[in-house]
Structure 1
């Protein structure tokens, strides 16, 4: 019986360990190829960067471009399904700030799935930061710098064309289920886009999205109502708007002045923000007092 020298055994074990380490390191150095995008703004940026071939799933808010709808849906951004996320075997999740719930995020951490959070914000600098962060997460920083620079120029050009809107009071209504109005105050994407076109948020006396009283609506002095262009149960019809007594008494109600826009384009603060600024400013210039 041939006896194996202990040194040979040790040497073999070291070679095996080194091989495993090098393989793991090489894998870690490889860019992620199975990515889940969470947040419509993030998904739009991934496509704009030309990195959509690496996506294996997206969340419900990711509805643009149309090709994104062909990807598996892992749930709403704040009600993600951990089972759905893990079922697509991702090697990276790029998520907009606020994605959750926390228990889903905890499960992903236990499963050792890397998750990069992209900061939110509601101005030009936020758009640039968002594009830059997504590009860095994808490992394409140079492409991100080019896209961010182009988007900044387009936003500035769109804002230059947004004239004559100073003092125009815009009331953003998120929903009015049961006749109860949920409006957008400061520190919201609605407040951000209204400010970017040079208009005034008519409900800037509170933060976030909150239910508002009839008295508050009357006091807003809204010249224009701004809503998302939605249908079905979440949609807000002209009849529902202008039959509301408080709205009917505002300048917007008296002039039946309402602007409808694609929600993700208007509130996403992503690569389509220049288009949102152009569309909103043009619409506001044409309606209201």
Structure 2
């Protein structure tokens, strides 16, 4: 299912380029045909102007709209993508994800195909990755422009939250990543970085697990002021649980927000927009 695939993008997204266990730089000469195995990779390629080099992507690559006109190699997970399908597009470079596509790395490299392995765990990682991909694909100037625009959005969000916090403390946030089992964003997750940059406090931000499974009771005990529910979940509009009843109580002071999972969980250029959007929600600023 596409929603399940979107969730997997959250889990399996730092930057490094590997050959087995050894690090190896991608040959930047002659990168004319690229296969992207993830939505955020596709977004980055379009953002830096490398879309004409993109010959195929996945069923989940839906942004920008033009991405849907590209040929597809299948789903997001490695078991939904055949090596034969990738090879059929004669790529110079395959842009894939650590943890999700590990089984594809060595076979591709053994055939002489360059591989870029992405594992972005923070907004800073995303910016570094954009610069690296820009260099690899021959779009360094465009990549630098994208990162500059991201930095402007992030600085604006930082200034707005700092000004707003002069009149109060940082708001407490609960972020529901999945509904069954109930799952949230932990310390080292990409979403936790988004929350922190937006000037919020993740009530599970000290959990060592990236995406810990938690209980209704733990959420309620932390008394979040904002409850964000990701639309990646099949049943994201859950209304019959204790968390919702807590939010409905007048004395809870909590508000519930359903969020575009693509923008908030994909480690691509739009993550800076996500930080700014979240800042505006948390501090009641015009959107």
TM-score, normalized by the shorter chain, greater than 0.5: yes
The alignment's TM-score, normalised by the length of structure 1, stands at 0.77
CA deviation after TM superposition for structure 1 residue 256, in Å: 6.2
Whichever of the two has the greater Rg, that structure is 1
Secondary structure of the residue that 2:257 maps to in structure 1? strand
Q: Answer with 191-200 or 108-117: which moved more.
A: 108-117
Report if the CA contact (8 A) 2:198-2:279 is conserved: yes
Secondary structure of the residue that 2:212 maps to in structure 1? strand
Q: 2:278 aligns with which of 277, 280, 287?
A: 280
- The yes-or-no answer on 1:248 pairing with 2:255 is no
Secondary structure of the residue that 2:71 maps to in structure 1? coil
CA distance 1:252–1:66, shift in 2 (3 Å): farther
Q: Give structure 2 stretches of 5+ with no counterpart.
A: 1-26
Between 1 and 2, higher relative CO (CA 8 Å, sep ≥ 6) is seen in: 2
Within-5 A mapping of 1:134-145: 134-145=133-144
CA distance 1:277–1:136, shift in 2 (3 Å): same
Q: State the partner residue of 2:216.
A: 214
CA deviation after TM superposition for structure 1 residue 278, in Å: 2.1
CA distance 1:45–1:86, shift in 2 (3 Å): same
CA distance 1:260–1:277, shift in 2 (3 Å): same
Report if the CA contact (8 A) 2:28-2:136 is conserved: no
- The yes-or-no answer on 1:121 pairing with 2:118 is no
In 2, Cα distance between equivalents of 1:246 and 1:279: 23
CA distance 1:29–1:92, shift in 2 (3 Å): closer
CA distance 1:247–1:220, shift in 2 (3 Å): farther
Deviations 1:78-125, CA, capped at 9 Å, x for gaps: 42432221222212112244341x3222322232221112341313x2
Report if the CA contact (8 A) 2:187-2:206 is conserved: yes
CA distance 1:246–1:262, shift in 2 (3 Å): closer
Q: Give structure 1 stretches of 5+ with no counterpart.
A: 1-27
In 2, Cα distance between equivalents of 1:148 and 1:195: 19
In 2, Cα distance between equivalents of 1:75 and 1:29: 26
Report if the CA contact (8 A) 1:59-1:77 is conserved: yes
CA deviation after TM superposition for structure 1 residue 214, in Å: 3.0
Q: State the partner residue of 1:47.
A: 46
CA RMSD of aligned residues (A): 2.6
Secondary structure of the residue that 2:278 maps to in structure 1? helix
Deviations 1:6-59, CA, capped at 9 Å, x for gaps: xxxxxxxxxxxxxxxxxxxxxx88522111123322211211111201111113
- The yes-or-no answer on 1:171 pairing with 2:159 is no
CA deviation after TM superposition for structure 1 residue 143, in Å: 2.7
In 1, Cα distance between equivalents of 2:75 and 2:270: 21
Q: State the partner residue of 2:150.
A: 151
In 2, Cα distance between equivalents of 1:251 and 1:188: 28
| Structure with the higher helix share, 1 or 2 | 1
Q: 2:258 aligns with which of 243, 260, 276?
A: 260
Q: State the partner residue of 1:226.
A: 228
User: How many residues are paired up?
Assistant: 251
In 2, Cα distance between equivalents of 1:71 and 1:95: 17
Secondary structure of the residue that 1:164 maps to in structure 2? helix
Q: Answer with 41-50 or 142-151: which moved more.
A: 142-151
CA deviation after TM superposition for structure 1 residue 224, in Å: 1.5
In 1, Cα distance between equivalents of 2:35 and 2:235: 29
